[in-house]
């Protein structure tokens, strides 16, 4: 399998993760022009599973280091296999809520609040003393929290979303999504092999490589989708019910491919994040990856024009949000 051998490479991978996690939401925006986000999400989950298998049978099976995917899977402990799958289930619930929040409030709001909150929870939960400078790590997280609050205030001043939906509902769902999303990584991290004191991977028996864990995680997302997304179609939080048969009746090759692309983009970022975490540490790789908030806000503000005509005060708050996010991420990098 291909592994990470240096800290700078791990940081670069985290930056790619940030771009992928902050950009997949654009595929939902594109697909929403033609069909409901619940239908988009079926293809999103499928794309995630297919791409995880592609990574596992290529980068996860080639090279002299570690164990190839199939061998690694069969030596994994049952409780750790279940832990990785449960991580996917927890993530799926949170991500469905995030997708609903995007549909209600837009990219520029749902991501900064939801993903930003998950950043704080994930960093604190996975913190290991001695691996980071606690003052720098805490300062970086604090700046990002401030950026989240600025974004929430900007959205409140803007009023309702472009579709006239409830401001409060969009913020509440984003908070619920972020709270759950910050919890899933611990299930994943416990199942993965980790480094020794010198940063070299130790392929402990029973634990699995990041590629194998990614497949199990994606499987948890895909299988649980038949429960949670089905409920989301039949009893939606926002909007009318979506008949189950609409996926086959109204879907076109274009809409299906857009959803699969969205899942593949997210999976690429996550695969690199899992891989980099073995060297950079979970708190740092998770924290840097969640810079996706800034990327998604960029798409929402400058490409989708979600804050167009909001006024000088709102624009100033958005500008400050970007400044605090960038500063917070920079401090997270040097905290290692």
pLDDT tens track, the chain, 336 positions: 888 888 889 889 998 998 998 898 889 888 876 688 899 999 999 999 999 999 999 999 988 788 999 999 999 999 999 999 999 999 999 989 987 887 777 666 677 778 778 878 888 887 877 778 989 988 988 888 788 778 777 776 776 444 445 667 888 898 999 889 888 988 999 999 987 766 678 899 999 999 999 999 999 999 999 999 999 999 998 788 999 999 999 999 999 999 999 999 999 999 999 999 877 777 788 878 877 777 877 887 787 777 777 788 888 988 898 899 889 888 988 887
Q: Strand, coil or helix: what is 204?
A: coil
Strand partners, 208: 192
The per-residue pLDDT for 284 is 80
In this structure, what token pair is assigned to residue 11?
């940081």
What's the CA gap between 230 and 248, in Å, rounded?
Answer: 14
CA dihedral 140, 210, 4, 139 (to 10 degrees): 10
What is the H or E stretch that residue 201 is in? Answer: strand 201-202
Q: In angstroms, how far is CA 162 from the centroid of its own chain?
A: 24
Q: Assign residue 242 a region (left: φ > 0; alpha: ψ between -120 and 50; beta: otherwise).
A: beta
Residue 115: name the closest of 265, 241, 295, 319 by CA. 295
Residue 124: name the closest of 312, 282, 302, 313 by CA. 282
What's the CA gap between 119 and 115, in Å, rounded?
Answer: 6
C-alpha pair distances (Å), 2 with each of 65, 68, 160? 7, 10, 47
Quick count: other Cβ atoms within 10 Å of Cβ 303?
11
Find all residues with CB under 8 Å of 110, minimum gap 6, and list them. 98, 101, 102, 104, 170, 173, 174, 177
pTM for this predicted structure = 0.85
What's the CA gap between 329 and 141, in Å, rounded?
Answer: 8
Task: For the chain, count helices (H), then strands (E).
Answer: 14, 2
Q: Strand, coil or helix: what is 202?
A: strand
What's the CA gap between 172 and 18, in Å, rounded?
Answer: 24
**Radius of gyration over alpha carbons of the chain, in Å?**
19
Quick count: other Cβ atoms within 10 Å of Cβ 200?
11
């Amino acid at each position: 399998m291909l592994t990470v051998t240096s800290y700078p490479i791990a940081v670069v991978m985290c930056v790619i993760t940030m771009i992928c996690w902050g950009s997949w939401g654009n595929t939902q925006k594109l697909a929403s022009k033609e069909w409901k986000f619940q239908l988009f999400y079926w293809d999103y989950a499928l794309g995630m599973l297919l791409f995880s298998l592609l990574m596992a049978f290529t980068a996860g099976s080639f090279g002299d280091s570690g164990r190839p995917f199939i061998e690694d899977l069969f030596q994994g402990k049952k409780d750790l296999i279940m832990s990785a799958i449960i991580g996917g289930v927890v993530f799926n619930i949170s991500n469905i809520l995030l997708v609903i929040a995007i549909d209600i409030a837009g990219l520029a709001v749902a991501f900064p609040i939801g993903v930003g909150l998950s950043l704080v929870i994930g960093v604190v939960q996975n913190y290991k003393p001695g691996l980071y400078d606690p003052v720098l790590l805490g300062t970086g997280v604090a700046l990002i929290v401030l950026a989240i609050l600025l974004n929430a205030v900007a959205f409140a001043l803007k009023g309702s979303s472009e579709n006239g939906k409830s401001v409060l509902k969009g913020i509440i769902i984003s908070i619920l999504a972020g709270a759950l999303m910050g919890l899933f990584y611990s299930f994943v991290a416990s199942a993965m092999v980790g480094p020794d004191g010198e940063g070299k991977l130790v392929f402990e028996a029973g634990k699995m490589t990041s590629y194998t864990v990614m497949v199990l995680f994606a499987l948890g997302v895909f299988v649980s989708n038949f429960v949670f997304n089905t409920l989301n179609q039949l009893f939606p939080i926002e909007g009318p019910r979506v008949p189950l048969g609409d996926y086959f009746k109204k879907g076109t090759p274009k809409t299906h491919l857009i959803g699969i692309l969205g899942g593949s983009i997210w999976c690429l970022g996550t695969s690199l994040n899992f891989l980099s975490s073995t060297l950079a540490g979970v708190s740092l790789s998770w924290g840097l990856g969640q810079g996706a908030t800034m990327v998604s806000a960029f798409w929402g503000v400058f490409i989708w024009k979600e804050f167009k005509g909001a006024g000088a005060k709102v624009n100033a708050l958005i500008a400050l949000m970007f400044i605090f996010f960038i500063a917070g991420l920079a401090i997270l990098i040097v905290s290692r």
